[in-house]
């Protein structure tokens, strides 16, 4: 099936989101929904959300807060991000601003709501804006798609059995909403296939009936790619969770797409290997979804992209065709390497059903340090220094800001601030993994000492045991969870 017809058959949120930015931006594909209640913590932020008077024409929307945060640093850098909705148009507009570090002085805080003011700020601060969503274009349901009927449900039951076809309102409601509670679809049906054959039959049938489909894994994504826009049939791969084989000589794991990442980690660690990616959502996210979204994760700096680690895929196309690219060769240059098209395409070209992936050897020595920095530039310089001095043992370098720590302390249970008296604005978690404990620890300590002498690190602590290391990691891994406590928000520095 040629690419264009694939797109026309499986036009989910993800496939529309795949329109290149240069063609006018991504369109928000949000169905009508109710905004979350305002968290008391965030009342001050709510007021900051009202577009300030800048002398330019106010935006055409009646802005209502979804979630926001304003950050001002002593270095004169300010960043505001907010999610907005206009209920009358039942769509969302979200923008974010990033401040480029090449300017030594960032000028006054910039809270901009109109394009004209935006550009003048852009010129002086080197601000890069990316706009997502259009409040002017509500996303209409495509009338070419059919509406589910009882015959369809009967057919699915004949393929998947009664347990594989879920119409229970509560269960379907959960599958209709993303993890952050921002996006809500209106699907009436959740399907739970248990084999590639079942996925193939389901998709072939949907193709023949022109029923829209949204593939779903752990539903832990933060950008609305795993839930319906309208009434698409949800095909959840959670029932396909078998490990098929493990080559414990080369560290090549072959498994079904519905395997939860944490379960795979536990399995391969027992064999002396580790998964090449790690996420805060590992307890729920599935490897098929990780691959379909080209997840990066906490080990990205060490083990790189999934494009480099995935060796093979089995994928079911929109018309039910099973594409078997499930090789376990470390490098196979025969033919076109089509599997890469499915890495990061969010299920819009096909549903990943099986995976073969390279797993690195588990190394015996792990060290974790939690550091604070005076300013953002020091964090960048610290990264460069870490790459050179720690080099081959550097396995994670995670950046957090003051608000992130505060949110974690406020909303996460059982975490402790590693640097309780630290007045600093920026924090870095560094992890090293290597083959010799004494060498690695000495290397890390020497690096931290030099960094403090050079003024890159203001304060810091190295974990003395697993419990401390886990605490450090929890602050970072659960940061998204912590933001939920204030209604949800993110910020970006570059």
Q: Give contact residues for a copy of itself (rule: CB under 8 A).
A: 2-4, 18-21, 26, 249, 272, 293-294, 296, 300, 304-305, 307-309, 331, 333-338, 340-341, 343-345, 349, 361, 363, 380, 384, 387-393, 433-436, 439, 443
Question: What whole-number distance in Å separates Cα of residue 441 and Cα of residue 367?
Answer: 7
CA dihedral sign, ordered 437, 443, 446, 452 = negative
Measured from the CB atom, the residue of 135 and 394 that comes closer to a copy of itself is 394
Structure tokens at 298: 């906490």
Measured from the CB atom, the residue of 295 and 482 that comes closer to a copy of itself is 295
Measured from the CB atom, the residue of 177 and 341 that comes closer to a copy of itself is 341
Measured from the CB atom, the residue of 12 and 70 that comes closer to a copy of itself is 12
CB of 1: closest distance to a copy of itself in angstroms?
11
Measured from the CB atom, the residue of 89 and 223 that comes closer to a copy of itself is 223
CB of 302: closest distance to a copy of itself in angstroms?
9
CB of 385: closest distance to a copy of itself in angstroms?
10
CB of 383: closest distance to a copy of itself in angstroms?
9
CB of 103: closest distance to a copy of itself in angstroms?
15
Measured from the CB atom, the residue of 71 and 383 that comes closer to a copy of itself is 383
Structure tokens at 69: 């945060």
Question: What whole-number distance in Å separates Cα of residue 20 and Cα of residue 351?
Answer: 21
CB of 246: closest distance to a copy of itself in angstroms?
14
CB of 422: closest distance to a copy of itself in angstroms?
27
CA dist 268 → 248, 263, 469 (Å): 9, 9, 21
Measured from the CB atom, the residue of 393 and 463 that comes closer to a copy of itself is 393
């Amino acid at each position: 099936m040629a690419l264009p017809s694939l797109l026309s058959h499986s036009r989910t949120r993800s496939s529309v989101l795949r329109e290149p930015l240069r063609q006018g931006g991504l369109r928000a594909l949000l169905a009508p929904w109710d905004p979350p209640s305002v968290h008391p913590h965030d009342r001050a932020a709510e007021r900051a959300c009202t577009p300030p008077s800048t002398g330019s024409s106010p935006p055409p929307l009646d802005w209502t807060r979804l979630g926001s945060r304003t950050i001002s640093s002593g270095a004169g850098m300010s960043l505001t991000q907010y999610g907005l909705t206009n209920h009358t148009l039942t769509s969302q507009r979200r923008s974010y601003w990033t401040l480029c570090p090449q300017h030594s002085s960032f000028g006054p805080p910039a809270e901009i709501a109109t394009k004209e003011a935006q550009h003048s700020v852009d010129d002086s601060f080197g601000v890069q804006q990316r706009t997502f969503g259009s409040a002017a274009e509500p996303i209409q349901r495509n009338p070419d798609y059919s509406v589910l009927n009882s015959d369809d449900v009967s057919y699915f039951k004949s393929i998947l059995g009664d347990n594989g076809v879920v119409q229970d309102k509560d269960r379907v409601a959960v599958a209709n909403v993303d993890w952050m509670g921002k996006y809500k679809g209106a699907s009436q049906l959740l399907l739970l296939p248990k084999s590639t054959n079942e996925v193939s039959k389901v998709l072939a049938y949907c193709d023949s009936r022109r029923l829209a489909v949204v593939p779903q894994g752990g539903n832990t994504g933060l950008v609305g790619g795993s839930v319906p826009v309208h009434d698409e049939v949800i095909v959840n791969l959670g029932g396909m969770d078998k490990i098929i084989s493990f080559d414990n000589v080369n560290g090549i794991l072959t498994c079904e797409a519905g395997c939860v990442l944490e379960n795979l980690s536990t399995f391969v660690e027992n064999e002396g290997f580790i998964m090449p990616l790690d996420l805060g959502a590992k307890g729920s996210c599935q490897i098929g979804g990780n691959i379909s979204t080209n997840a990066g994760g906490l080990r990205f700096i060490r083990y790189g992209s999934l494009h480099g680690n995935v060796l093979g895929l089995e994928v079911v196309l929109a018309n039910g065709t099973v594409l078997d690219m499930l090789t376990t060769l470390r490098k196979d240059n025969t033919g076109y390497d089509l599997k890469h098209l499915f890495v990061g395409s969010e299920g819009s070209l096909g549903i990943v059903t099986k995976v073969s992936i390279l797993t690195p050897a588990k190394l015996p020595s792990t060290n974790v340090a939690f550091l604070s920095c005076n300013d953002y530039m020091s964090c960048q310089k610290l990264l460069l220094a870490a790459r050179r001095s720690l080099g081959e043992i550097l396995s994670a370098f995670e950046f957090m800001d003051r608000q992130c720590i505060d949110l974690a302390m406020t909303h996460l249970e059982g975490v402790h601030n590693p640097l309780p008296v630290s007045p600093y604005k920026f924090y870095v978690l560094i992890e090293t993994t290597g083959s010799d404990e004494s060498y690695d620890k000495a290397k890390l300590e020497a690096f931290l000492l030099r960094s403090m002498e050079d003024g890159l690190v203001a304060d810091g602590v190295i974990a003395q045991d697993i419990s401390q290391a886990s605490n450090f990691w929890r602050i970072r891994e659960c940061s998204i969870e912590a933001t939920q406590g204030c209604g949800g928000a993110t910020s970006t520095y570059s």
